[in-house]
């Protein structure tokens, strides 16, 4: 082996040193390094699981928020619809009230016109009666009994009014 350039005692010593070094590394370095790598792997796995859980929670929160937004939108639409119904109801009530007031004003105006007409007719009757009595006095040349003639004139006017209303 000398021809190959190998020294057997040195080779055995180097092999023994290598085995001792390998055993020392295995007991003192290999276990702490593998433990450290296992712990790191475990922390990475936990971090990934936490990230997945946080992502799922974020998605759930986003869905919940989206549901709340949709609910608020529906509620807003209901409020708008109710407001429109109330507005149209108020408008209709105002229209009806205006119609009632208009009809009341019209009825009041008609009754006032009727009262004025009746007053005018009564005034005309009185004037007509006075003119008739005065004319009759002048024609006859003497004073007639005013109350008797007034009664006769009122009866004649009442009869003529009844005939006019029947026509």
- How far the first Cα of the chain sits from its last, in Å, is 163
pLDDT tens for the 167 residues of the chain, in order: 566 777 888 889 999 999 999 888 888 888 888 889 999 999 999 999 999 999 999 999 999 999 999 999 999 999 999 999 999 999 999 999 999 999 999 999 999 999 998 888 888 878 777 777 766 666 665 455 667 677 777 777 777 667 666 65
- Which residues 6+ apart lie within 8 Å of 136 measured at CB? 144, 149
pTM for this prediction: 0.41
**Structure letter (DSSP) for residue 7:** -
3-state SS of 11-57 is HHHHHHHHHHHHHHHHHHHHHHHHHHHHHHHHHHHHHHHHHHHHHHH
């Amino acid at each position: 082996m000398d021809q190959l350039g190998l020294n057997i005692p040195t080779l055995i010593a180097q092999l023994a040193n290598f085995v001792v070094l390998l055993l020392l590394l295995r007991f003192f370095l290999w276990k702490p390094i593998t433990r450290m790598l296992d712990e790191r792997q475990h922390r990475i796995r936990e971090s990934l699981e936490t990230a997945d859980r946080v992502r799922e929670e974020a998605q759930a929160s986003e869905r919940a928020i989206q549901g709340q937004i949709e609910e608020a939108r529906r509620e807003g639409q209901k409020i708008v619809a109710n407001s429109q119904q109330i507005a149209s109801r108020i408008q209709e009530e105002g229209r009806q009230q205006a119609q009632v007031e208009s009809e009341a004003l019209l009825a009041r105006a008609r009754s006032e016109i009727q009262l004025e007409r009746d007053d005018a007719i009564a005034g005309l009757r009185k004037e007509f009666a006075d003119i008739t009595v005065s004319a009759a006095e002048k024609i006859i040349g003497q004073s007639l009994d005013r109350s008797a003639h007034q009664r006769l004139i009122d009866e004649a006017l009442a009869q003529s009014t009844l005939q006019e209303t029947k026509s």
